[in-house]
Chains A and B, each alone.
Chain A
Amino acid sequence: MGLGQDVIVELEAIVGSDHVRTAKGDLEPYARDATPLFRGVPDAVVWPRTADEVAAVLRLATRRGIPVVPRGAGSNLSAGTLADRGGIVLVLTRMTSILEVDADELLARVEAGVTTAALAEAAAAKGLLYAPDPGSRTVSTVGGNVATCAGGLRGLKYGVTRNYVLGATAVLPTGEIIRTGGRLWKDVAGYDLTRLLTGSEGTLGVLTELTVALLPMPATTNTGVAYFPSLADAGRAVTAVIADGIVPATLEFLDAKCIGAVEDYAHLGLRRDAGALLLFGDDGGADAVERSLTRIGELCTRHRAMEVTLAEDVARSEALLAARRCSLPALSRLGTLTILEDATVPRPRLAEMVGRIDEIAERYDVSIATFGHAGDGNLHPTCVVDRHDEAAADRAHKAFGDIFATAIDMEGTITGEHGVGAAKLPYLQARLGADQMALLRRIKAAFDPAGILNPGKLGS
Chain B
Amino acid sequence: MTNLFDPELLDRCISCGFCLPACPTYALTGDEGSSPRGRINLMRALDTGVLDVDDPRVREEASFCLGCRACEPVCPAGVQYGQLLETWRDLQWTGRHRPVVAWGLMTVAARTSLLRLVGLVRRPARGAAAGATSLMLGCFERGLFPGVSRAARRLLPGVAVPADQGCCGALHAHNGQSHQGEEMARRLGEQLPGVIVTTSGGCAAHLATVLGRDRVHELSEHLVATGVTPVGEVRVDGRRARVALQDSCHLRNGLGVSAQPRALISAVADLVAVPGEASCCGAAGTYSMLRPRDSRRVLDPKLDAVEAAGVDYVVAVNPGCLRQLDTGLRRRRSRVRAVHLADLLADAAGGRALPRPRRRALRAR
- Where the two chains meet, the residues of A that have a C-beta atom closer than 8 Å to any C-beta of B are 21, 23-26, 28-36, 45, 47, 73-75, 91, 93-94, 115, 136, 138-139, 265, 326, 328-330, 332-333, 336-338, 387-388
Do residues A136 and B16 form an inter-chain contact, with CB atoms below 8 A? yes
Do residues A36 and B15 form an inter-chain contact, with CB atoms below 8 A? yes
Complex: chain B residue closest to A386, CB-CB? B11
Q: Is B265 interfacial (CB-CB < 8 Å)?
A: no
Given contacts A28-B51, A75-B16, A75-B17, 14 further A-B contacts (CB under 8 A): A21-B33, A29-B31, A34-B16, A35-B15, A36-B15, A74-B17, A93-B30, A115-B21, A136-B18, A139-B16, A332-B12, A332-B76, A336-B7, A388-B7
CB under 8 Å from chain A, chain B span 58-80: 58, 60-61, 75-78
Chain A nearest Cβ from B92, distance in angstroms: 13
- Where the two chains meet, the residues of B that have a C-beta atom closer than 8 Å to any C-beta of A are 7-8, 11-12, 14-18, 20-21, 30-33, 35, 37-39, 41-42, 45, 50-51, 55-58, 60-61, 75-78
- CB-CB under 8 A from B33, the residues of chain A are 21, 25-26, 28-29
A28-B42, A29-B38, A328-B76 given; A73·B17 CB < 8 A = yes
A329-B77, A387-B11 given; A29·B17 CB < 8 A = no
Do residues A332 and B77 form an inter-chain contact, with CB atoms below 8 A? yes
Chain B nearest Cβ from A18, distance in angstroms: 10
Chain B nearest Cβ from A233, distance in angstroms: 29
Closest 4 CB pairs of A and B: A25-B57, A329-B76, A29-B38, A336-B11
Interface majority SS (helix, strand, loop, mixed), chain A: loop
In the assembled complex, the Cα of A58 lies from the Cα of B75 at a distance in Å of 35
A34-B15, A74-B17, A332-B14 given; A23·B56 CB < 8 A = yes
In the assembled complex, the Cα of A10 lies from the Cα of B31 at a distance in Å of 21
Which one of B14, B35, B58 lies within 8 Å of A25 (CB-CB)? B58
Chain A nearest Cβ from B54, distance in angstroms: 10
Do residues B57 and A23 form an inter-chain contact, with CB atoms below 8 A? yes
Chain A nearest Cβ from B266, distance in angstroms: 21
- CB-CB under 8 A from B32, the residues of chain A are 29-30, 74, 91
Do residues A32 and B77 form an inter-chain contact, with CB atoms below 8 A? no
Which one of A25, A91, A337 lies within 8 Å of B11 (CB-CB)? A337
Do residues B17 and A139 form an inter-chain contact, with CB atoms below 8 A? yes
Do residues B21 and A138 form an inter-chain contact, with CB atoms below 8 A? yes
- CB-CB under 8 A from A35, the residues of chain B are 15
Chain B nearest Cβ from A138, distance in angstroms: 6
Chain B nearest Cβ from A80, distance in angstroms: 13
18 residue pairs A–B, Cβ–Cβ below 8 Å: A21-B31, A24-B57, A25-B33, A26-B31, A28-B41, A28-B51, A29-B35, A29-B38, A30-B32, A32-B15, A34-B16, A74-B32, A139-B20, A329-B14, A330-B76, A332-B12, A332-B14, A336-B7
- CB-CB under 8 A from B61, the residues of chain A are 25
Chain A nearest Cβ from B65, distance in angstroms: 13
- CB-CB under 8 A from B51, the residues of chain A are 24-25, 28
Complex: chain B residue closest to A340, CB-CB? B14
Complex: chain B residue closest to A337, CB-CB? B11
Chain B nearest Cβ from A319, distance in angstroms: 15
Do residues B16 and A329 form an inter-chain contact, with CB atoms below 8 A? yes
The listed residue with most A CB atoms (<10 A of its CB), out of B7, B51, B57, B78, is B57
- CB-CB under 8 A from A387, the residues of chain B are 7, 11
- CB-CB under 8 A from B12, the residues of chain A are 332-333, 336
Chain A nearest Cβ from B84, distance in angstroms: 14
Do residues A34 and B17 form an inter-chain contact, with CB atoms below 8 A? yes
Do residues A24 and B77 form an inter-chain contact, with CB atoms below 8 A? no
In the assembled complex, the Cα of A24 lies from the Cα of B55 at a distance in Å of 8
Chain A nearest Cβ from B259, distance in angstroms: 16
Chain B nearest Cβ from A305, distance in angstroms: 29
The listed residue with most A CB atoms (<10 A of its CB), out of B16, B50, B56, B57, is B16
A139-B21, A329-B76, A333-B78 given; A25·B56 CB < 8 A = yes
Chain A nearest Cβ from B195, distance in angstroms: 26
Complex: chain A residue closest to B16, CB-CB? A34
Complex: chain B residue closest to A325, CB-CB? B76
Chain A nearest Cβ from B234, distance in angstroms: 32
- CB-CB under 8 A from B42, the residues of chain A are 25, 28-29
Chain B nearest Cβ from A342, distance in angstroms: 15
A34-B17, A75-B16, A329-B16 given; A28·B7 CB < 8 A = no
Chain B nearest Cβ from A340, distance in angstroms: 9
Do residues B41 and A31 form an inter-chain contact, with CB atoms below 8 A? yes
Chain B nearest Cβ from A89, distance in angstroms: 10
Chain A nearest Cβ from B56, distance in angstroms: 6
Chain A nearest Cβ from B355, distance in angstroms: 38
In the assembled complex, the Cα of A121 lies from the Cα of B150 at a distance in Å of 46
